[in-house]
Amino acid sequence: MAGPIKQEIQYLLPVNRALLICAAMSSCLLLGAFLFEYVGGLVPCKMCIWQRWAHVAVILVALFGLLISRDIKKKSALLLVILAAVASAAIAGFHVGVEWQLWDGPSGCSTSLDNNGDMSVLVDQLLATSVVRCDEVPWSLLGISMAGWNSIFSLDIAGFALICFLANRQTG
């Protein structure tokens, strides 16, 4: 990273502020998910819940990093934030692939029912299938599903944290 740009990032975004911004970004994404669920009535599927756990990890690690007094450990927390945000993006990206029917989702989360003529097998498969399916898009904006937006924003969190980590790795 170039010298003047690196110094400006170090000045504007010390590790504490970077951790706080990452926690705030994940908190906003979680708040949005809860608003869609509890106000909008969009019940999350199994993979949506997995994505939420990754954001909880970002928030907890970032807040824990803010409580640590040593800079080297704060930078380690920033690395863990990057990993949790990348995990969220990966889960969301996989979810988008399931929505586009590029691959099957977890069992009981998508419609892969096989009817071999045996009605008891079909009934068992229907009972094992979740009511909220992972392979349907309940809401989208500009042709991008909620999982797609989560993947984009999670990559933004990871990229922002990485830039801040690289800019601050030589300090303190």
Q: What residue spans define the domains of the chain?
A: 3-106+135-168
Q: Distance (Å, rounded) from C-alpha 90 to C-alpha 95?
A: 8
- Looking up tokens 């502020």 gives 17
Q: Is 131 helix (H, G, I), strand (E, B) or coil?
A: coil
Whether 125 and 113 have beta carbons less than 8 Å apart is answered as yes
Phi, psi of 145, rounded to the nearest 5 degrees: -75, 170
| Local mean pLDDT, 10-residue blocks, the chain (172 residues) | 56 78 93 88 82 92 83 81 94 83 68 60 59 66 80 92 81 50
Which pLDDT score is estimated for 12?
A: 57
Return the structure tokens found at 44.
Answer: 């999350």
For 123, phi and psi rounded to 5 degrees? -65, -40
Q: What is the pLDDT of residue 154?
A: 94
Which residue, among 58, 73, 85, has the nearest Cα to 168 in the 3D structure? 73
Alpha-carbon distance 98 to 79, whole Å? 29
* Confidence (pLDDT) at 133: 66
Q: Which fold has domain 3-106+135-168?
A: Bromodomain-like (1.20.1550)
What is the chain's length? Answer: 172
